[in-house]
Amino acid sequence: MSDARIGSARESARDAGPDAGYDVLLRQGGIAHVRPLCPGDRRALHELVDRSSERSAYLRFFTGGRNTAHAYMDRVTGPGYEGRALVATVRGRLVGVAEYIPYGDGRADLAILLDDAVHGHGLGTLLLEHVALDAAAHGVRELVADVLAENRAMIDVLSALGLDTTRHAGSGTLRVALSCRPTALLRAGVEARDHVAERASLAHVLAPRSVAVIGAGRDPGGVGHRVLRNLVDGCFAGPLHPVNPKADRIAGLACHPDMGAVPGPVDLAVVAVPPERVLDVARDCAEAGVAGLVVVTSGFAEAGRAGAEAELLRICRTAGMRLIGPNCLGVVNTGARLNASFLPITPSRGRVALMSQSGAVGAALLERLEVSSFVSVGNKADVSGNDLLEYWEDDPDTDVVALYLESFGNPRRFARIARRVSAAKPVLLVKSGRTGAGSRAVRSHTAAKATPDVAVDALVRAAGAIRLDSVHELIGTARLLSSQPLPRGRRVAIVGNSGGPQAMAADACERHGLVVPELPAGLVRARGAAAVGNPVDLTAEALAAEIGAAVEAVAGSPDVDAVIVVYTPPFGSGPEETRRAIARAAERIAGGDDGGAHGAGKPVLACVGHDGLIEGRVPGYAFPEQAVEALAHAVRYAEWRARPAEAPEEPPPAGSERARALVRAELAASPGGRWLSPAAAMSLLGCYGLDLVPSVDADGPDAAAAAAVSLGLPVVLKAAGPVHKSDVGGVRLGLRAPEEVREAYEEMAARIGPGMTGATVQPMLPPGVEIIVGGVNYPVFGPLVMVGMGGVTAELVADQAFRVPPVTTAAATEMIGELRCAPLLHGYRGARPADVAALARQVVRVGRLLEELPEVAELDLNPVIVSPDGAVTVDARIRVAPCDPQPSPLLRRLR
């Protein structure tokens, strides 16, 4: 690109060493390592130039070719170089370098050189993305590249990045200027390119063309033998290679002494050797060019050997291998007839893709669910739920994704990926550890309520995923979503042969917010029916055909969105015939027999005394409450998917730079962090356009009295210093004369003592509803915004709603509507309605503040007085704390 210049690094990068940096996925699924250039790379740079063809050298260095390139490599690795650069290595060899050299006016010269061997792998695009992000972070507004007009490949790469681009043609060259400001097109391109690379890298693991089992022995009880036997018995179509130096044949297959002796390429190797041999085996697989490893062997980080696990990952990353495990059960792909696990069961083929971090939970789920694929991630050293979501997103064999997690590796990335996947496929999640206490002491109302588990809930909700409380609930919901259409509404018809269980189903519907409407007269005609209004009780004498006919009839009503069948055996025609009748009715409702004349697109669920799919079509449940619970999850998910896409909102005017400067100054004065003074807190909030009550700080009784006169009486006096001022008598309302203000200050100071560092004087506001708006920033999960009942009842009354920023106006309005105190805002008992729109604006702006300022650890606006005339913050507590910078979500990298 700036074809005449090729790369180097900032001064700090010179000291970073060759081991600094991070791993990235390439387009075809390979792995590269990206790091800052250092002086020790000089020799590798010259070798890169020597490997370049004359054509490549000409396109990059114009007429100077290789001679110019060699001279330049000496300069960029020498002292005094002012550029910044990244290099990429593949299997330990330096194969790419990209740089920018600032001009000093907000622009910089851009350059890149790639090894001919990696052209077409997407490495050039990836390096340019990363260089542009780095340049923007260091104040560069525009990158400029001079490209030969005939270099169409490079021009196309620059144009496809997704950055705003301008071009100026010269004599045989094209000057391309790239704005460093991230765009929606760049975000979309980064996501799409990352998705392609993830899919390609995991295809070798989940759809391999050949499999080796290293450690397969003759003992039928051995783990390696069981893996091999499952592959053989499952009729895996590709070559299978047992590897064991002490055997000639195992399970009827020729055995090889090591990976070097295996004929032909191997996509996937399953490693089942003792832990002390795993690293050597991994090195052998790397040498043999294996694409993916599944390490079922335990005895790594979970046994206190984190160093060995880190070395295993390093070997895999350097060789470009993806790693499942270690300490896992294996992988399954029923469509590919791949059972590379040591489980004693044969997985049933279905439409649910399943990942489990727990081996025991994974085994239990696999025994009860029909799956498209299953991955036991074990210690999750490399491949995680985020990676698998990428693979399953457009897997044609998968309709539902189910995850059992014990920990989030990268929750922010999970939210981004799951939101995209959930738009097309349900994502179910069971996350253990709901009751774990927070790991840090907090002093704000918001932080006390916003526990890590609340953060998980908000994160999952923002992504449109379905969080479930138990494995049993996951099974029931997955069966429904993988076998039936989504409900179009909340109206449920209940049909059955027993009034008691049907009444239990109706009660459960009410608890879950589902509606059991009265059905039109004459809709169901059945002999001896006890009730036909809804629930429809056909009595114990009802035959299977009558139950089936009733199901079809109620499904045909425009007043019904879903049907629950409650059958109590052994009455009527008996369980077997009744189940078949229910399945036939469901098939007709789905349009199987008559093009959908009987209510196509409406889900049917059945309570038949046991769990499982009925005739492979209808989800069955042992108890009515289970069916209703699953249906409620499906209804909420369908409503989430049906929401219209919100247009991006223009952010309110904000002094972002002024806010950052304020936070930097506070942390410079107190490097460990601190609570801001009332004046500093109000100043920070003002940067984001929040509506604040006028305030004047006072350091004594006379100053407080003078402030009261300047603001206009009556006023409020608040002590500065105490966290919860009301608890210590630090708030006085309705002071109507300067003398009252002076006396109130003196009384507060005497009562509170040295803990009172001054006071704040504010005008009295008209009465309104007291609301709290707050937020926290978790180092891992990121920001979380809260709105709830405020004032002195903020902690007494558990009435809060949480969201993950960015929070749109629609989302903020929804949060407010979820509060039990919401009727107070809408004109309760004849009062004038409060300005809910103004409160929603406050919530949106707090969300933006927390997103842009991760150093804001805790924030309480309490109370925000919401009246018919607006929403005004009258008190604020903000704590700032140092935090590690989060990598940009646009920076493609493996964790």
When comparing pLDDT for 667 and 6, which is higher? 667
* Longest alpha-carbon distance in the chain: 101
All CATH 3.40.630.30 domain ranges in the chain, comma separated? 11-181
| Helix, strand, or coil (residue 750) | helix
Q: Residue 607's beta-bridge partner residues?
A: 566, 621
The pLDDT, as a whole number, for residue 5 is 34
What is the third-level CATH fold of 201-480? Rossmann fold (3.40.50)
CA dihedral 596, 599, 600, 603 (to 10 degrees): -140
| Helix, strand, or coil (residue 3) | coil
All CATH 3.30.1490.20 domain ranges in the chain, comma separated? 697-763
| Cβ atoms 466, 426 nearer than 8 A | yes
In the block, residue with structure tokens 């924030």? 859
pLDDT band at 652 (very low <50, low <70, confident <90, very high): low
The matching CATH number, chosen from 3.40.50.1000, 3.60.20.10, 3.30.1490.20, 2.170.190.11, for 697-763 is 3.30.1490.20
All CATH 3.40.50.720 domain ranges in the chain, comma separated? 201-480
Angstrom distance (rounded) from CA 219 to CA 272? 13
All CATH 3.40.50.261 domain ranges in the chain, comma separated? 487-640
Listed residue (40, 48, 33, 34) closest to 14, CA to CA:
40
The matching CATH number, chosen from 3.40.50.1000, 3.30.470.20, 3.40.50.2000, 3.50.50.60, for 654-693+765-895 is 3.30.470.20
**CA dihedral sign, ordered 119, 120, 126, 129:** positive
Answer yes or no: CATH 3.40.1080.10 is held by domain 487-640: no
| Cβ atoms 554, 516 nearer than 8 A | no
Q: Kindly list the distances between the CA atom of residue 586 and the CA atoms of 462, 479, 615, 807, in Å, as whole numbers in the listed order.
A: 33, 15, 11, 40
Q: Residue 770's beta-bridge partner residues?
A: 865
pLDDT by residue (tens digit) across 85-138?
999 999 999 999 999 999 989 999 999 999 999 999 999 999 999 999 999 989
Angstrom distance (rounded) from CA 406 to CA 564? 33
- Name the strand (E) or helix (H) holding 75: helix 65-76
Angstrom distance (rounded) from CA 502 to CA 624? 8
pLDDT band at 526 (very low <50, low <70, confident <90, very high): low
pLDDT band at 439 (very low <50, low <70, confident <90, very high): very low
Listed residue (891, 766, 885, 884) closest to 834, CA to CA:
766
pLDDT by residue (tens digit) across 198-236?
999 999 999 999 999 999 999 999 999 999 999 999 999
Pairing verdict, β 604-607 and 322-324: unpaired
Answer yes or no: CATH 3.40.630.30 is held by domain 11-181: yes
Tokens of 464: 């449109």
pLDDT by residue (tens digit) across 451-507?
778 888 999 998 999 999 999 999 999 999 999 999 999 999 999 999 999 999 999
**CA dihedral sign, ordered 119, 122, 125, 127:** negative
Helix, strand, coil abundance in the chain, percent, nearest 5 = 40, 25, 40
Tokens of 17: 């060493």
Q: What is the pTM of this model?
A: 0.88
Q: Print the SS3 string covering 777-816.
A: EECCCEEEEEEEECHHHCCCCCCEEEECCCCCHHHHHHHH
